[in-house]
Amino acid sequence: MLNMNNISRIYQSDTIQTHALRDFSLRVNEGEFVAVTGPSGSGKSTFLNVAGLLDNFDRGQYELDGVSVQGLKDDELSRLRNEKIGFIFQNYNLIPDYSIFDNVDMPLRYRGFSASERKRRVEQALEKVGLASRFKYLPSQLSGGQQQRVAIARALAGEPKILLADEPTGNLDSLMARQVMEILHNLNNDGATIIMVTHDPDQAREVNRNVQVIDGQLADFKIYAPLGRSSEVKSKTISEAASAAVAEEVENA
């Protein structure tokens, strides 16, 4: 689904160069739920932004759903973002004076769908996050957890191949965080591929795979609930799991 090879992202300012990602390689299979953890400033958001085509990279290869993204033009990248990727932000990023409906409808506007098709998809997406009855509300009339669920509905409305979430529960109390996590797990059970940045070790533990980013590089693999052919690696030590994953990486390359 997602295949990154030796990606580097360097932020250049007047005086300093920050290597936010250095030779970063990761492969995520279809249907996987991957948690990305790591210290603050290690490059998690940078990785997610590059994965979501919100940011470009300086070196390396990146293939998304079989499409090699380097060298694509702006409108091609935009179409990929619109059709294949659903992004969920820590701050929800809803437009405050738009109704819930209009917020969820937004990505569909750039798709050329008919009004009835858009309505069907918005309703379906709001249904999935349990907010179908609130479509006329403004974001400010909802709780933080509900707002994040609206943001998830917005990400789902375009029926993307992959959901990218940057600390989706970072602003929520544990009860609301739970609800959001349940929705993500349900989506994953229905077949969605999800990559989520999180600081919560419990959340990281309950997904298929936890990767750790340290200093712009992938540090470690922890596989908790194996998927598909990697099912026999259930109880390996960390180093064994890591080498197995590397082997898998090589095999897939």
The contact mask relative to other proteins for 70-109 (x = CB under 8 A, - = no) is ----xx-xxx-xxx---x-xxx-x-x-x--------xx-x
If the CB atoms of residues 178 and 199 are measured against ligand ATP, the closer one turns out to be 199
User: Which member of 121, 128, 134, 154 binds other proteins (CB under 8 A)?
Assistant: 154
Q: Which does 128 bind (CB under 5 to 8 A by kind): ligand ATP, other proteins, Mg ion, none?
A: none
User: Which member of 3, 37, 45, 146 binds Mg ion (CB under 5 A)?
Assistant: 45
Q: Which does 87 bind (CB under 5 to 8 A by kind): Mg ion, other proteins, ligand ATP, none?
A: other proteins
The C-alpha atoms of residue 55 and residue 18 are separated, in whole angstroms, by 15
User: CB–CB of 178/2 below 8 Å?
Assistant: no
If the CB atoms of residues 46 and 146 are measured against ligand ATP, the closer one turns out to be 46
Residue 31, both tokens: 């249907």
Q: Is 23 a binder of other proteins (CB under 8 A)?
A: no
Q: Is 9 a binder of other proteins (CB under 8 A)?
A: no
Q: Which does 190 bind (CB under 5 to 8 A by kind): ligand ATP, Mg ion, other proteins, none?
A: none
Q: Which of 28, 25, 29, 34 is nearest to 7 (CA)?
A: 25
Q: Is 111 a binder of other proteins (CB under 8 A)?
A: yes
The C-alpha atoms of residue 103 and residue 20 are separated, in whole angstroms, by 31
If the CB atoms of residues 79 and 199 are measured against ligand ATP, the closer one turns out to be 199
**Shortest distance, CB of residue 151 to Mg ion, whole angstroms?**
16
User: Which member of 13, 14, 16, 115 binds other proteins (CB under 8 A)?
Assistant: 115
Question: How would you classify the pairing of strands 33-37 and 209-214?
Answer: parallel
Classified as helix, coil or strand, 59 is strand
The C-alpha atoms of residue 223 and residue 191 are separated, in whole angstroms, by 18
3-state secondary structure 3-18: EEEEEEEEEECCCCEE
Classified as helix, coil or strand, 193 is strand
Residue 48, both tokens: 């997610």
The C-alpha atoms of residue 40 and residue 226 are separated, in whole angstroms, by 27
Residues of this chain that interact with other proteins (CB under 8 A) are 45, 49, 52, 54-55, 74-75, 77-79, 81-83, 87, 89-91, 93, 95, 97, 106-107, 109-113, 115, 154, 158, 166
